């Protein structure tokens, strides 16, 4: 049983229902009001009842459906039973043991959508240290890492084309700022407060391109109440060494700082069995990441949070083997160069001011600058000398402003504006493909996005809420560049720009049946901007491609049962996509590939379910998704096959390699995903011994719309087993871990005739000391 007593100052306007084993306990506070929270908690444990009183911690109760969080109890001595707090139907979790993540911060926007939320500790315990590994923890998610760019897809929607000219369908936010789209995705999770995965089309708040979903990664903020932090060391196979840590520095009653770092070195998974690389060590890892944060709260009304981080990610190169070559995926043949370095800087300024009326004004300013460099062996053999080299820079400025109403009365609202300027620059001589002769590319890809958006929430009754949201977006996408074959004296220039504008919206109905059951349903429209294909070696004017639109129907049920020990979430969705964007052989010019739009309507629909439970010393979590996807009627030519004639998207003809792909599954859309985790706590020598095991299944998927197994399109099902044994004693935590415990060998992705392997079994020990 858990009992919580809170000293809360504020008027009675919003009810916090603490759904614990002892029943519901109501507390109130107006939105936008800072809360000083001193809590006394007692709970049962196999070794007897435990209790603690938190240090004085403050948080701000924020408006519903806004990108903000609430921080709950910190520094629990041991992990309590699962707890849930509901704010007008929004779910908040409290979990964890020890540092660095003694609490979970959950965004209110997730209550009315399909979402998964993890603390930093939970990510580490599940073996998820980068974006790529999220797919083994969350239903409906797949991530294919095939070199500089990745294909992040939720429900089969995201990005299957790695190029600067096409937008992503899943946007990753870091500390409130939309990060680089599809590139620079190997940044590690460290000193993480929470990670949120929103499944399905977003748009009102997450931006126009989030047709597949959005991911929010939030690092820990500075705190005023204590000096503290953690230091963590890890040793593993492949000569892995990892060192990570953070320190919280209260500088005064109104100013606090936090610093954090993460470094890792690891030998390559790969062995060169034929030939030798002329440059680099393919697959060897050496990374350095640093972050500094500063929080200033001179008054109860003003909060200024600044964060900046630096990442230097060296992966040694992107080793791969040719499709159809057979043999061991980790034994490569090469005579080419290898290089894979990403260097990024990101700064975020978050300012929030609360007026006397209770209205809140918030500003989020972001600046990001990154340079990615790669060299690779394009043919994957030791006999042919096809190579690729590039060094590309991307710079992003962004600004978001929100105005949030007081949460008083039946009607609340949020209004906002957003602007982003994204510039990709390819310097002269820094993008070269060699397949017997050099093909070069240079130029710039400027893109801008501006939007205004808003949402109102109306309480029809104490239990029923109506929400209406809308977003108007304008965007531009340009290409200014030159593609050339210097040996032949040939060059083609491009200086084009396309524009786009769209209004999208959402209507939702939310029903809090009682404190234990919550139902929601909504219809929403989303939008992914069009763009331009780049210069080509056929020396024909590149064509533009149209925007992609989606209509999303969803309904869900969230429940808390067994006296708060079991939480379940069930949802269903049906999405219709118009002008789905894909890359195929150009319909009119056989020699090149182009991004085009599927002529007919494409659909994807399915069910998603998840559960979290804590019964005594045992805790478990599970998630599953079932999905079906179908492309609309569409004729296309596989760019990997030789062509001599045109292939009209609407009329074909269906002859030779011009085929109707209508009815085929969307790429990277598994029909089933499944994940499950089980943990049990044993008392041992004054501490807690916790064995944990996690299982993940992703069914077979297709890597292209052509579903041609002979071309390597079929990616077999993968079954990943992770295990961990943790002993927590006072401020120490010792862990033995293994990821991909069965050492399953599988193809993680395919691209340009090459196949890329998923990570093999890794194991080691990790020691953490909190201070």
Number of CB atoms found within 10 A of residue 263's CB: 17
**pLDDT surpasses 80 at 234:** yes
- pLDDT tens column, 484-523: 888 888 888 888 888 989 999 999 999 989 888 999 999 9
**pLDDT surpasses 60 at 15:** no
- pLDDT tens column, 66-85: 223 333 333 233 333 333 33
Is residue 660 classed exposed, middle or buried when 0-12, 13-18 and 19+ CB atoms within 10 A define those classes?
middle
- Cα angle 65-153-603, degrees, rounded to a multiple of 5: 85
> What pLDDT, on a 0 to 100 scale, did the predictor assign at position 25?
27
Determine which of 164-168, 208-212, 392-396, 418-422 has the lowest per-residue pLDDT on average.
164-168
Secondary structure (3-state) at 349: strand
User: Among residues 290, 287, 345, 343, which one has the least CA distance to residue 316?
Assistant: 287
- pLDDT tens column, 624-671: 999 999 998 888 888 777 776 778 888 887 777 788 888 999 888 899
* Banded model confidence at residue 600, pLDDT cuts 50, 70, 90: confident
* DSSP class of 220: P
Residue-averaged pLDDT of the chain: 80
* Banded model confidence at residue 112, pLDDT cuts 50, 70, 90: low
Is residue 488 classed exposed, middle or buried when 0-12, 13-18 and 19+ CB atoms within 10 A define those classes?
exposed
Query: Encoding tokens for residue 512?
Result: 């809090």
- pLDDT tens column, 261-317: 999 999 999 999 888 888 888 999 999 999 999 999 999 999 999 999 999 999 999
Continuous H helices in 620-706: none
- pLDDT tens column, 383-403: 888 888 999 999 999 999 999
**pLDDT surpasses 70 at 128:** yes
pTM assigned to the model: 0.83
> What pLDDT, on a 0 to 100 scale, did the predictor assign at position 372?
93
Tell how strand 732-739 and strand 687-698 pair up: unpaired
- pLDDT tens column, 136-160: 888 888 887 777 777 788 887 776 6
**pLDDT surpasses 60 at 418:** yes
Query: Encoding tokens for residue 416?
Result: 């906002």
Question: What's the longest Cα–Cα distance across the chain?
Answer: 81
């Amino acid at each position: 049983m858990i009992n919580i007593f809170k000293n809360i100052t504020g008027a009675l306007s919003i009810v916090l229902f603490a759904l614990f084993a002892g029943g519901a306990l109501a507390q109130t506070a107006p939105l936008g009001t800072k809360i000083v929270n001193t809590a006394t908690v007692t709970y049962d444990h196999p070794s007897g009842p435990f209790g603690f009183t938190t240090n004085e911690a403050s948080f701000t109760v924020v408006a519903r459906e806004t990108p903000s969080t609430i921080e709950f109890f910190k520094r629990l001595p041991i992990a309590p039973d699962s707890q849930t707090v509901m704010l007008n139907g929004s779910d908040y979790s409290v979990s964890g043991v020890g540092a660095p993540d003694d609490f979970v911060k959950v965004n209110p926007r997730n209550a009315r959508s399909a979402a998964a939320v993890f603390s930093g500790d939970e990510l580490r315990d599940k073996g998820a240290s980068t974006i790529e590994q999220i797919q083994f923890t969350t239903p409906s998610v797949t991530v294919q890492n095939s070199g500089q760019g990745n294909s992040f897809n939720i429900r089969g929607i995201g990005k299957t084309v790695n190029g600067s000219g096409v937008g992503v369908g899943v946007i990753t936010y870091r500390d409130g700022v939309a990060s680089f789209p599809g590139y620079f995705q190997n940044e590690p999770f460290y000193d993480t407060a929470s990670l949120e995965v929103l499944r399905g089309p977003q748009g009102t708040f997450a931006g126009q391109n989030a047709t597949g979903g959005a991911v929010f990664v939030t690092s820990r903020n500075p705190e005023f109440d204590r000096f503290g932090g953690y230091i963590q060391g890890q040793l593993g196979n492949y000569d892995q060494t990892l060192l990570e840590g953070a320190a919280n520095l209260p500088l005064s009653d109104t100013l606090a700082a936090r610093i954090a770092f993460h470094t890792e070195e690891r030998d390559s998974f790969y062995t060169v069995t034929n030939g030798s690389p002329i440059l680099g060590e393919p697959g060897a890892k050496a990374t350095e990441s640093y972050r500094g944060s500063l929080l200033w709260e001179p008054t109860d009304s003003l909060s200024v949070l600044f964060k900046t981080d630096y990442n230097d990610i060296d992966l040694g190169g992107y080793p791969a083997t040719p499709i159809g070559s057979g043999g061991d995926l980790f034994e490569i043949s090469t005579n080419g160069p290898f290089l894979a370095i990403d260097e990024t800087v990101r700064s975020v300024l978050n300012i929030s001011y609360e007026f006397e009326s209770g209205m809140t004004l918030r500003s989020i300013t972001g600046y990001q600058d990154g340079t990615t460099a790669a060299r690779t062996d394009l043919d994957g053999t030791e006999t042919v000398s096809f190579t690729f080299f590039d060094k590309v820079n991307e710079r992003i400025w962004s600004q978001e402003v929100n105005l949030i109403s007081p949460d008083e009365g039946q009607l609340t609202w949020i209004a906002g504006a957003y602007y982003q300027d994204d510039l990709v620059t390819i310097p002269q001589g820094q993008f070269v493909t060699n397949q017997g002769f050099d093909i070069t590319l240079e130029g710039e890809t400027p893109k801008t996005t501006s939007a205004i958006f808003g949402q109102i929430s109306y309480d029809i009754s104490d239990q029923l809420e109506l929400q209406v949201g809308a977003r108007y977006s304008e965007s531009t996408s340009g290409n200014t560049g030159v593609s050339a074959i210097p040996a032949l004296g040939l060059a083609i220039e491009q200086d084009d720009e396309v524009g786009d504008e769209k209004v999208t919206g959402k209507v939702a109905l939310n029903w809090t049946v009682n404190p234990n059951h919550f139902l929601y349903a909504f219809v929403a429209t989303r939008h992914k901007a069009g763009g331009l294909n780049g210069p080509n070696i056929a020396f024909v004017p590149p064509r533009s491609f149209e925007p992609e639109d989606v209509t999303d129907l969803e309904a869900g049920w969230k429940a808390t049962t067994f006296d708060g020990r079991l939480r379940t979430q069930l949802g269903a969705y049906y999405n219709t996509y118009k002008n789905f964007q894909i890359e195929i052989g150009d319909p009119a010019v056989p020699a090149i590939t182009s991004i085009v739009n599927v002529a007919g309507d494409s659909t994807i629909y399915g069910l998603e379910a998840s559960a979290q439970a804590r019964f005594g010393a045992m805790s478990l979590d599970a998630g599953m998704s079932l999905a079906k996807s179908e492309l609309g009627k569409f004729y296309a030519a596989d760019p990997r096959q030789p062509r001599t004639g045109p292939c009209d998207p609407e009329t074909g003809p269906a002859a030779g390699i011009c085929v109707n792909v209508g009815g085929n599954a969307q790429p990277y859309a598994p029909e089933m995903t499944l994940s499950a985790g089980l943990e049990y706590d044993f008392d041992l020598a004054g501490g807690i011994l916790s064995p944990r095991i996690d299982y993940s299944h992703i069914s077979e998927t297709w890597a292209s719309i052509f579903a041609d197994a002979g071309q390597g399109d079929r990616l077999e099902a993968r079954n990943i087993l992770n295990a961990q044994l943790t002993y927590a004693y006072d401020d120490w935590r010792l862990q033995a871990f293994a990821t991909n415990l069965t050492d399953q060998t599988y193809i993680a992705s395919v691209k340009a005739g090459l196949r890329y392997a998923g990570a093999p079994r890794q194991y080691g020990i990790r020691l953490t000391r909190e201070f």
